[in-house]
């Protein structure tokens, strides 16, 4: 269970960091992303034992209903899918209505506070 918690926590933290850094007020999933994922899941599940004719909580207690309560793949594919958020699958509401407002006044904190402005020259991998 610990790896599952870690993967979910990392995913949520990545979304929170984007929200904080880019002055985002609200986030919601695009309906087309939900529809596409549902279609993918339905197609995947047709070839699994979960779709056989039996009553299951995976099918909301129905015998022939769609499989709705399980990831369409292995745990490893789920880990890979959540490795980094697909930010393009979300709608964003920005604090000011302008998605680039977070650029601020055109200067970094480093510049304003008189810090080293060539720090990146000490890190040749950048």
Digitized pLDDT (tens) for each residue of the chain, 126 residues in all? 899 999 999 999 999 999 999 999 999 999 999 999 999 999 999 888 888 888 888 888 888 888 887 899 999 999 999 999 999 999 999 999 899 998 888 898 899 999 999 888 887 765
Q: Which residues contact 77 (CB under 8 A, 6 or more apart)?
A: 71
pTM score, two decimals? Answer: 0.77
b/e burial code for range 87-109 (CB count within 10 A of at least 16 → b): eeebeeeeeeeeeeeeeeeeeee
Spans of all domains in the chain: 2-122
């Amino acid at each position: 269970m610990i790896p599952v918690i870690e993967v979910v926590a990392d995913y949520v933290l990545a979304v929170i960091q984007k929200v904080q850094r880019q002055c985002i007020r609200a986030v919601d999933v695009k309906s087309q992303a939900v529809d596409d994922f549902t279609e993918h899941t339905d197609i995947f599940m047709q070839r699994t034992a979960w779709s056989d004719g039996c009553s299951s909580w995976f099918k909301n207690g129905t015998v022939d209903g769609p499989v709705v309560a399980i990831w369409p793949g292995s745990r490893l594919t789920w880990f890979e899918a959540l490795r980094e958020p697909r930010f393009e699958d979300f709608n964003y509401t920005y604090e000011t209505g302008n998605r680039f407002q977070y650029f601020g006044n055109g200067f970094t904190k480093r510049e304003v506070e008189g810090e080293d402005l060539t720090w990146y020259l000490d890190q040749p991998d950048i």
